[in-house]
Amino acid sequence: MNPLQLKQLIEAALFAHPQPLSAEQLHQLLLNEGEASLTAIKQQLQELQSDYRERGIELVKVASGYRFQTRAELGQRLAGLWQEKPPRYSNALLETLALIVYRQPITRGEIEQIRGVSVSSHIMKTLQERGWVKVVGHKEVPGRPQLYASTNDFLDDFNLSTLSELPDIDTLSEDDERTAETATNERDDS
């Protein structure tokens, strides 16, 4: 199989498959089609990323593999194409998700202790149904509470390859402090 055919086959597979595909999954798929090394597949994936650099869609690598998606800067203009509204998540749900992601594995009791309020069963159910959070074990304490951690679906949905790409908590705190200082200074000036 020549490089152009390989590139076209990879591109078609990524467009046709509803989930991201890793280089290894593409390699397994293409083993039946002829000689395509994992190195050749990775090279063609890089070329495809380069080919789509200046287009309305891009080839991105997320935790589960590679996928095509519309550019983030075009999302707002394209939102009108879909009749359904994206789900809105409460601050409580987002705080719970952030605690799980940054402090995983973590128990529901630990989340409640940090937040200072109980965590609704609905929140935990929503996070698990969405596929962002899963039970990864039980803590070795009386009652053996469940330990929660994030999933690859979370990483995929938030365009991350690994948890190390998350913003640093200290950076977020500094940004919040600067925002609070600016708001205080504006009030003092008026």
Tell me which residue has tokens 């395509």: 36
Task: Please give the pLDDT value at position 33.
Answer: 56
* Residue 158 · residue 166 · CB < 8 Å: no
* Residue 99 · residue 115 · CB < 8 Å: yes
Give 63-78 pLDDT, tens digit per residue: 989 999 988 888 778 8
* Residue 41 · residue 6 · CB < 8 Å: yes
Residue 26's identity, in one-letter code, is: L
* Residue 147 · residue 105 · CB < 8 Å: yes
pTM confidence score: 0.63
Give 119-165 pLDDT, tens digit per residue: 999 999 999 999 999 999 999 989 899 999 999 999 988 888 889 88
CA distances from 24 to 19, 27, 51, 114 (A): 14, 5, 21, 40
